[in-house]
Amino acid sequence: MNYPKKVVIGDITVRDGFQHEEKFIPTEAKLWLAEELLLCGFKHIEVTNFGNPKGMPQFKDADDLFKAIRSSKRVEHLLPGASLTAITIREKAIERAIEARKEGFGPDRILLMVSTSESHQYKNSGLTIDEYFRMAEKYVPKALDAGLKINGTVSTIWGCPIEGPTDMSKAIDFAQRWLAIGASDVEHADHDGSASPDRVYKYFSMLLDKVQNPHKHIVHLHTTRGWGLANVLAALQAGMTNYESTLGGIGGQPANFVDGVPVSGTGAYYYKESTAVGLVTTEDMVVMMDEMGIDTNLDVDRVLETGKMVERIVGRKLRSESIHQGRIPKNLSGRL
């Protein structure tokens, strides 16, 4: 097997993970988790979404959460080396991030997203693909001038929950367009678990033939159908070195129902079963890579303990096997 010996893993539980929860996660719990992730060794964390909280009330505490992290004594020594991200799909959210940055508590990095599916693009942003790129071309320079880094995400690469199959080659073109606009990195997203290992390998091989620099490109995979780690292995084989995931594999789409109140959330194509979602599980991916001799620069045991606490925060058992089964022993136990 041919795969990298060192990777970077970002954890996006606080934003992408909790966005799917049907109860509001207390700001104090989000703060605790963000701190723990930094103490585990994660350098890249998604914190919140600066979009309108009316449709996504899980993010109504966005400003308060960022302010709390910026003033945290537990992690103040780690913040200079960390990248904290906010999702900013439309203009008002970008403007909000710029203002928060100027006020000293805002994100280091913002995320804009384009889909290869026209239907999903319009559902997600209210703009066509061409309109969205024109908006990005106008607003990315403003964000860069404010000192923000930009992530340009490409979604629905392997399939769309509305249209079905998509053209993978279109995503390569979009990734190159993001970099040309000024993005510092590009997230390549399996939106709903449509990716299979063979096509993951094919896509990232195609990508590296074009860009030849895996460090600017982030692998974002779901495990809705149970293929998550198989897809990670396929991406490793293709040569990808930058990954993101969530503890317990939670997340995926904004909930349609929060604290007993129906909200717009994702809309009609939301999963029928609220727990039948999820990204690749951080704990299992970290343990698997550790067993493969791949350096993640993370405290593996602390990652597992943090995963156990996330189960308590959300109130149910999650997808991670490693937090229950533990790591594979490195030494003989001494028992007969």
pLDDT, one tens digit per residue, over 281-322 is: 999 999 999 999 999 999 999 999 999 999 999 999 999 999
Contact 181, 212 (CB under 8 A): no
CA distance 143 to 101: 9
Contact 175, 211 (CB under 8 A): yes
What is the length of the chain?
336
Local confidence band at 202 (pLDDT 50, 70, 90 cut-offs): very high
Residues of the chain above pLDDT 70, percent = 96
Report how far apart, in Å, the C-alpha atoms of 77 and of each of 37, 72, 141 are: 14, 10, 30
Residues of the chain above pLDDT 90, percent = 84
CA distance 228 to 278: 9
Give the CA count within 13 Å in the CB-facing half-sphere of 174.
30
pLDDT, one tens digit per residue, over 240-267 is: 999 999 999 999 888 888 999 988 887 7
Whole-number mean pLDDT of the chain?
94
- The model's pTM is 0.96
Local confidence band at 84 (pLDDT 50, 70, 90 cut-offs): very high
pLDDT, one tens digit per residue, over 26-46 is: 999 999 999 999 999 999 999
Burial class (CB in 10 A: 0-12, 13-18, 19+), 74: middle
Predicted local distance difference test score (pLDDT) of residue 271: 61
Local confidence band at 193 (pLDDT 50, 70, 90 cut-offs): confident
Predicted local distance difference test score (pLDDT) of residue 275: 67
